[in-house]
Amino acid sequence: MLLTTTFTRGLRQATKPCRRAIANAALAQRQESPSAAPNVVWNDLQVKNQLRGLFRNIAQPVAVITSFMPTSSTSHYPKRELTAAPDARNSISNFHGATLSSFTSIAMDPYPLVTFALRVPSRMATTLNSLPAEKPVHMVINVLESTQSTAAVAFSRPDLHPKPFETCEATYSLSEDGLPVLHDVVGAISCQLVGRGIPLHDMEYLAAGNGLGERPKVKEFAKAMKEGDVTSQLFVARVVRVENVGDPERTLPLVYHRRGYTTCSLDT
């Protein structure tokens, strides 16, 4: 038995350099293969195109997020009474809104949570990331009604509609927190952010499990992003209150389907 054990140990030691050499050669071959990187990139682009094609055929709800953009001189939300007169309402220039195409509910228990993504750079993303964490409500998410495609466009094109709150496309009242609730919507929910936006371009940050914790350093951001790249930030929010905006059972939602705004039917 002792002789067999000694022989086996010696055989392992003798063949160890050979096994290491084979492994190193295989690794070098994979690294030098000219087809490895292009295949990865091509597959990624292929998945993106297929995924876009899939979701074009799935109707998505359309919502507008409204919030208050703080400045050095206006760090608090306006009082609700400011919307009593149209002239007073139009004097408020710190409201900001953006159309959401990726809004969904993700949990009811133990807390009602919703999520959405914003492409960056974005004034809305900057606004949400700069709001004080202690605020009970940071924003209102307005789920648009079937006839509100004009509002959806107005809040998605700041280059064409720089002041949608001051036009007829966005009539509104203020919630008890002083944030805009759009008129004639299917529904509106007041929400508090769970944390700052999660950078979706940084897979190492996501894989590390940091989630809503410490943000990555600017240097890491710059290294991960290239000029002209498209990326987004993911926001998670807790629903604090469902606003009383009418009878949602008597209205139909605005949905985005096959690159256009449409609605659904109540016919069965």
pLDDT in tens, 147-159: 999 999 999 887 7
Q: Which tokens is 241 given?
A: 């209150």
- Architecture field, domain 59-263: Roll (2.30)
Percentage of the chain exceeding pLDDT 70: 66
Residue range 20-62, pLDDT digits in tens = 555 565 455 545 444 444 444 456 788 888 988 898 888 889 9
Q: Is the omega angle on the peptide bond into residue 121 within 30 degrees of 0, that is, cis? A: yes
Q: Contact 103/152 with Cβ under 8 angstroms?
A: no
Question: Bigger pLDDT: 244 or 31?
Answer: 244
CA distance 26 to 261: 53
pLDDT tens figures, 202-243: 777 777 765 545 554 444 444 455 656 778 999 999 999 999
Q: For residue 93, what pLDDT band results from cuts at 50, 70 and 90? A: low
DSSP structural state of residue 253? B
Mean pLDDT of 72-100: 56
Residue type, 38: P
**Angstrom distance (rounded) from CA 22 to CA 19:** 5
The span from the CA of 266 to the CA of 146, in Å, is: 13
Confidence grade of residue 84 (pLDDT, cut at 50, 70, 90): very low
Residue 25: the pLDDT is: 54
Amino acid residing at 1: M
Reported as a single tens digit per residue, the pLDDT across 137-147 is 999 999 999 99
The pLDDT of residue 164 is 82
Q: Looking at 91-249, list the stretches that DSSP marks H as alpha helix, in order from N- to C-terminal side.
A: 123-130, 149-156, 203-207, 218-224
pLDDT at 7 over 80: no
The answer on pLDDT for 179 being more than 60 is yes
- Asked if 179 and 68 touch (Cβ cutoff 8 Å), the reply is yes
DSSP state of 154: H
Least confident of 89-98, 120-129, 252-261: 89-98
Please check whether residue 188 is in contact with residue 141, taking contact to mean a CB–CB distance below 8 angstroms: yes
Distance between CA 166 and CA 147 in Å, rounded?
Answer: 19
Looking at the predicted structure, is the pLDDT value of residue 172 above 50? yes
In the chain, domain spans: 15-54, 59-263
| CA angle at 253 for the pair 79 and 82, rounded to the nearest 5° | 10
pLDDT tens digits, 113-138 = 999 999 988 889 999 999 998 899 99
One-letter amino acid of 56: R
| CB contact at 8 A, 207 and 195 | no
What are the start-end ranges of the H helices in the chain? 2-32, 36-56, 86-90, 123-130, 149-156, 203-207, 218-224
